[in-house]
């Protein structure tokens, strides 16, 4: 039997047929995905005045800090960024807030360098970064970032399902008959 004929018609060896519509749809998705990756390197949108003022490395440092304060591995960076958009917008017109962020990132990096000999962004383990965060926890900078994140992340209906939260219940008559009465571990 001729093996060449057998393998020639095998579905694995067939060349993929790509329609014009499929090509355009795929190209568009790749373009949007690439733009998100390129602009998504920090906590603030890369094209914001606040991101330009604070600098690329500080912007990435803020994102790492946000993820370390509220570490939800299943949450994409976009949710952390969504929370900080109002802060970035305010920092664009509020010099005191911009100074708080700039000086705060500098203090974070100084603490990190004193403990580990490198900037916060380059500290390898989350446990080591938490040590640095605990050292600056009383600062107004830390409290501002933490407070904005807490309200923004946990009040975001878009991610409640990821946390297993069913949302507000008062408009539905409370939690009775919404699955909570079936909990057997209480």
Predicted pLDDT of residue 89? 85
* H/E run at residue 94: none
70-92, pLDDT tens digit by residue? 999 989 999 998 888 888 888 88
CA-only gyration radius of the chain, Å: 24
Predicted pLDDT of residue 12? 42
Predicted pLDDT of residue 162? 86
Predicted pLDDT of residue 180? 65
120 compared with 24, residue with greater pLDDT = 120
Cα–Cα distance list, 6 to 1, 2, 9, 13, 15 (Å):
9, 7, 6, 10, 15
Q: What is the DSSP string of 63-92?
A: HHHHHHHS--TTS-HHHHHHHHHHHHHHHH
Burial class (CB in 10 A: 0-12, 13-18, 19+), 11: exposed
Predicted pLDDT of residue 48? 73
Cα angle at 142 between 130 and 160, to 5 degrees?
80
Highest mean pLDDT among 14-18, 119-123, 161-165, 178-182 belongs to: 119-123
Name the average pLDDT for the chain.
Answer: 78
Q: In this model, does residue 38 exceed pLDDT 70?
A: no
Q: In this model, does residue 100 exceed pLDDT 80?
A: yes
CA dihedral 34, 39, 41, 43 (to 10 degrees): -140
122-140, pLDDT tens digit by residue? 999 999 999 999 999 999 9
If pLDDT is split at 50, 70 and 90, which confidence band does 41 have? low
Q: What percent of the chain is predicted at pLDDT more than 90? A: 40
What's CA 139's distance to the chain center, in Å?
Answer: 23
CA dihedral 56, 59, 64, 66 (to 10 degrees): -170
Cα–Cα distance list, 108 to 1, 105, 111, 122, 180 (Å):
72, 5, 5, 12, 42
Q: In this model, does residue 159 exceed pLDDT 70?
A: yes
**Residue range 36-54: mean pLDDT, rounded:** 65
Predicted pLDDT of residue 33? 37
Q: Which two tokens stand for residue 38?
A: 């390129």
Predicted pLDDT of residue 179? 66
160 compared with 100, residue with greater pLDDT = 100
Q: In this model, does residue 182 exceed pLDDT 80?
A: no
């Amino acid at each position: 039997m001729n093996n060449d004929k057998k393998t020639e018609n095998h579905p694995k060896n067939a060349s993929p047929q790509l329609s014009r519509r499929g090509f355009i749809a795929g190209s568009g998705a790749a373009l949007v995905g690439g733009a998100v990756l390129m602009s998504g390197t920090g906590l603030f949108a890369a094209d914001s005045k606040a991101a330009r003022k604070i600098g690329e490395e500080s912007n990435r440092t803020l994102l790492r800090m946000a993820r370390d304060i509220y570490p939800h591995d299943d949450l994409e960076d976009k949710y952390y960024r969504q929370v900080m958009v109002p802060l970035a917008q305010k920092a664009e017109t509020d010099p005191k807030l911009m100074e708080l962020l700039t000086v705060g990132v500098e203090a974070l990096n100084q603490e990190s360098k004193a403990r580990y000999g490198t900037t916060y962004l380059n500290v390898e383990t989350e446990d080591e970064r938490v040590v640095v965060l605990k050292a600056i926890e009383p600062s107004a900078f830390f409290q501002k970032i933490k407070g904005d994140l807490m309200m923004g992340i946990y009040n975001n209906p878009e991610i409640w399902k990821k946390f297993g939260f069913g949302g507000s219940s008062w408009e539905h008559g409370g939690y009775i008959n919404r699955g909570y009465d079936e909990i057997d571990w209480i």
